[in-house]
Amino acid sequence: MLPQEIGRRLMLVCNSCGYREQASQEDKRKISTKEADVIVVEKRGELAPTTHVICPNCGADRAYWWIRQTRAADEPSTRFYKCVKCGKVWREYV
């Protein structure tokens, strides 16, 4: 979710679906500007997106996923998963 000023209020807006919610005081402290004017908002407990993948720990079929560059820039990224049911985190080298 990206911060956006609407009127005099700071709102967090999803750029995929357009969902809006008012930013709390805690959210306002977590909004930070990084290089190239990229704004990052961290919200605890809310990870996205999810995908269909089997958890090696509990067998659930849904997990959150994200990608990080964990090796040299000329090597592929690493995809991480976190099971929606049990919370186990595992990785897959893409």
42-76 tens-digit pLDDT: 555 555 688 899 999 999 999 988 888 887 888 88
| Domain-located, residue 45 | no
Cα distances (Å, whole numbers) of residue 37 to 2, 26, 34, 46, 59: 12, 21, 6, 23, 41
In the annotation, is 5 catalytic?
no
Task: Please report whether residue 54 resides in a domain.
Answer: yes
Same domain, 55 and 81: yes
Same domain, 83 and 55: yes
Question: Residue 57 and residue 85: Cα distance in Å, rounded?
Answer: 10
Catalytic, 75? Answer yes
pTM of structure: 0.50
Kindly report the average pLDDT of the chain as a whole number: 76
Placement of tokens 């997990």 in the chain: 63
Catalytic residue among 21, 42, 61, 75: 75
User: b/e string for 61-73 if b means 16 or more Cβ within 10 A?
Assistant: eebbeeeeeeeee
Give me the number of domains the chain comprises: 2
Given 5, 35, 46, 74, which residue is catalytic?
74
For 67, the domain range is 50-93
Query: Are residue 60 and residue 81 in the same domain, yes or no?
Result: yes
The predicted pLDDT at position 56 comes to 94
